[in-house]
């Protein structure tokens, strides 16, 4: 944020003018978009543990052989590693969403992940399925369609009072979906 403001201040100073007009509108839009991004990341991060746990549980329900003896989630240690990996993926997707750029996801999370999973014998189809379930959960949290156990409160970004733009919520949900899709394609 400081970079965008610094650039505007330096440009105004160089021209000997005040920041106004289109430059001020651009800064307002930047702040508004930043607040929506913060709200989206907050909605994901406050439920990260549930998102990851539900995703891994959903993956296991679809493939019960994973918890059978010899399965990749059979021991507590393997299950903990699976949950840890899910948390790492979700954390880097939220970093990418906050920055509006997938480079941190590519550089810090996905670089060599498929090869590591192959070396460890982790079934990438199951990992990709868990990420797909995480995607659905995260998008539901961003858009407010995360109804669980008869919960009637609609707690999407619009109801939190900070983001008033339904198109912006959908846009961020779509962007987050793209980051999850990037993870799935990287490990498949």
Q: Which residue ranges are tagged as binding site for (2R,3E)-phycocyanobilin?
A: 35, 39, 72, 77, 82-88
Q: Point out the annotated binding site.
A: 35, 39, 72, 77, 82-88
Characterise 146 by phi-psi region: left (phi > 0), alpha (psi -120 to 50), beta (else).
Answer: beta
Rounded distance between C-alpha atoms, residue 107 and residue 136, angstroms = 24
Q: How many CB atoms lie within 10 A of CB 22?
A: 7
d(CA 113, CA 127): 11
Task: Tell me how crowded residue 120 is: count the other CB atoms within 10 A of its CB.
Answer: 10
Q: Give the 3-state DSSP-derived string for 140-187, with helices as H, strands as E and coil as C.
A: HHHHCCCCCCCCCCCCCCCCCCCCCCHHHHHHHHHHHHHHHHHHHHHH
CB neighbours (10 Å) of residue 90?
Answer: 26
The CB-side HSE value for 50 (13 A sphere, CA atoms) comes to 12
Centroid of chain to Cα 90: 5
């Amino acid at each position: 944020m400081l970079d965008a403001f610094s650039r505007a201040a330096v440009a105004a100073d160089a021209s000997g003018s005040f920041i106004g007009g289109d430059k001020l509108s651009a800064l307002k839009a930047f702040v508004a978009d930043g607040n929506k991004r913060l709200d989206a990341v907050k909605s994901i991060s406050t439920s990260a543990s549930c998102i990851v746990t539900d995703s891994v549980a959903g993956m296991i329900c679809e493939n019960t052989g994973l918890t059978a003896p010899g399965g990749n989630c059979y021991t507590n240690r393997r299950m903990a590693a699976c949950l840890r990996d899910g948390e790492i993926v979700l954390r880097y997707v939220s970093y990418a969403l906050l920055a509006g750029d997938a480079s941190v996801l590519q550089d810090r999370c996905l670089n060599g992940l498929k090869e590591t999973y192959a070396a460890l014998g982790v079934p990438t189809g199951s990992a990709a399925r868990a990420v797909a379930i995480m995607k659905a959960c995260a998008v539901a949290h961003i858009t407010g369609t995360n109804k669980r156990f008869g919960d009637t409160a609609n707690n999407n970004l619009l109801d939190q009072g900070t983001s008033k733009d339904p198109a912006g919520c959908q846009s961020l949900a779509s962007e987050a979906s793209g980051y999850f899709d990037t993870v799935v394609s990287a490990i498949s």
